[in-house]
Amino acid sequence: MSRATCSRRKFVALGGVAAAAALAGCSSQTDSDTSATGSMPVKGDATADDVVNLQIFAANSLEKALPDVESLYTEQTGVTFADTQYKGSGDLVEQMRGGAPVDILITASAGTMDDAAEDGLIDDDTRKDMFTNELVIVRAMGSDVKVDSLEDVASVEGNIAIGEPGAVPAGKYANQALASAGLYSNVEGEDGKYASSIADRVVEADKVGTAAQYVATGDCTIGFVYSSDVYRYDGIEIAYTCPAESHQPIVYPGAVAASSKQAKAAEEFLDFCMTNEDALGVWAEYGFELA
């Protein structure tokens, strides 16, 4: 490529803002120069420090929707993403405590994000509530199992899938809902006991997706998951939607990790998630509502 012109191929590869920076670099200056405004060097001259590759830790329930949003962002900006980690929110925070490199944390509960904030793992100024969700009881597709109230859970035959409440926010919400029906002893959703009518039938799952799969495969008759999980797993359907007042509000907070070396780029992606029209369409497609 000459110093005076940029090829169409390079412009497309860089895309969006990065393309503008490349055009600035394709001036009569030397190839290693940047523009007077500090634009990124043209492709081929950029160092590893110029490449934006974000590492995200996200709640397991975002496993289907978030990759689509990441792809949109890459197409529009050139920013790429490392192997995004999808696990129970508590497990993600535990990994951060262990020193795992992270740019963005998105959890499925305010409480889990509070834990991360208390440990200094996030930049609290960047924290924002991103999405809301519903807690539902699912059954296998085509099942004749009926659940018309939370009290009905006690009379359902077979096992009940619930996320492990210490690590999976959906499990904590499920226990809160059960507590409202007298089937769990602690209204906070943790460190309590199940009523004798269900105690030996509760199967704890390591993440909400596992709870959904237990129901789809028939290992459990019903399970507590998010409404968004019905969009991402085959073989399950909603039997009952838990009343909003039966559990704490289900909110997904997002924040830039305190240790991020790409904090500005990370915050820009969080803003994109909540403002870009195409991104909002993806969230809606998978059952998430903007907080």
Asked whether the whole model's pTM tops 0.85, one would answer no
| 1 in any annotated domain | no
Query: Tens of pLDDT along 116-160?
Result: 999 999 999 999 999 999 999 999 999 999 999 999 999 999 999
| 3 in any annotated domain | no
Q: Are residues 153 and 219 in the same domain?
A: yes
Q: What is the pLDDT of residue 49?
A: 55
Among 230, 246, 262, residue at a domain's last position: 246
Query: Tens of pLDDT along 121-132?
Result: 999 999 999 999
Phi, psi of 226 (to 5 degrees): -90, 155
Calculate what percentage of the chain has a pLDDT beyond 70: 83
| 89 in any annotated domain | yes
For residue 196, what are its two tokens?
């004798």
* Residue 63, SS3 per DSSP: coil
Distance CA 273, CA 288 (A): 12
**Residue 153 sits in which domain range?**
135-246
The CATH number covering residue 263 comes to: 3.40.190.10
For residue 82, what are its two tokens?
């490392």
Which of these, 83, 108, 85, 110, lies nearest to 98 by C-alpha position?
85
Q: Are residues 67 and 160 in the same domain?
A: no
Q: Are residues 107 and 208 in the same domain?
A: no
Query: Tens of pLDDT along 269-278?
Result: 999 999 999 9
Q: What is the pLDDT of residue 51?
A: 82
| 231 in any annotated domain | yes
- Number of separate domains in the chain: 3
Q: Are residues 44 and 100 in the same domain?
A: no
| 221 in any annotated domain | yes
Phi, psi of 104 (to 5 degrees): -135, 140
Distance CA 172, CA 29 (A): 60
Residue 13 scores a pLDDT above 50: no
Give the number of other Cβ atoms within 10 Å of residue 141's Cβ.
12
